[in-house]
A and B are shown apart, each in its own frame.
Chain A
């Protein structure tokens, strides 16, 4: 039985066809990793907004709202990451670094900010930006690969 997939490309046209098919497959696969970067980008923005709300609006309602905002984005990120059918190169390593550094910045911002700089924009705005940086780093590095 002949193998329809074993014919060697002999002409320029056949080589072009093979390259075009390979490029289509590669692009299709690459698109499947975009959702993870989008979810991480969303988490970074949610963290920025959540930290600002927590720090600048020290009321029970805003505390619950800020935490819910961040928690919702974290759950979405976990679901997207856990159900992804294709993962970028170095995904787990970069994911753990991003989440680990984010957690350290987040906890430090809350502990220091709430005890020393309550509702102080000069602290909370940089802290919110810093909390978004690990997620943004994950997105940018992933897009370069």
Chain B
């Protein structure tokens, strides 16, 4: 029987990417700064990790006008939610 760690999603083994996905799983959509505050990181690091999640199709980005500025909003994709659920299940299996 394989160890539960083999079920871990390699993109979500990054604690920060896992936190981003977990935060987005609780809302329909969230603005960049709200995610930054929720996962307690800085803009550059968050941007780097979101780019990776975007590349693997776990998040979607939309730009929404807010006054004179465009703000970045993120959503967790169905693929991202599936990966998150599987990853969390594997982590729980490891802790058991």
Residues of A within 8 A of B (CB): 3, 5-12, 15-19, 21-30, 32-33, 85-91
Q: Provided the pairs A15-B91, A22-B22, A25-B38 are in contact, do residues A10 and B28 lie with their beta carbons within 8 angstroms?
A: no
Q: Which of B38-64 contact A (CB under 8 A)?
A: 38-40, 49
Q: A29-B34, A29-B38, A33-B27 are in contact. Are A9 and B92 (CB under 8 A)?
A: no
Question: Please, what's the 1-or-0 string for B1-37, where 1 marks a CB less than 8 Å from any CB in chain A?
Answer: 0000100101001111111111111111111011101
Q: Is the interface of B mostly helix, strand, loop or mixed?
A: helix
Question: Which partner residue on chain A sits nearest B21 by CB separation?
Answer: A22
By beta carbon, the residue of chain A nearest B33 is A85
Contact B27 A89 (CB under 8 A): yes
Q: A15-B94, A29-B26 are in contact. Are A86 and B13 (CB under 8 A)?
A: no
Closest to B45 in A: A5
Supply 19 A–B pairs (Cβ within 8 Å), ascending by A: A5-B14, A6-B13, A10-B5, A12-B94, A21-B15, A22-B22, A23-B22, A25-B39, A26-B22, A26-B25, A29-B34, A29-B35, A85-B30, A85-B31, A85-B33, A86-B27, A87-B27, A87-B30, A89-B27
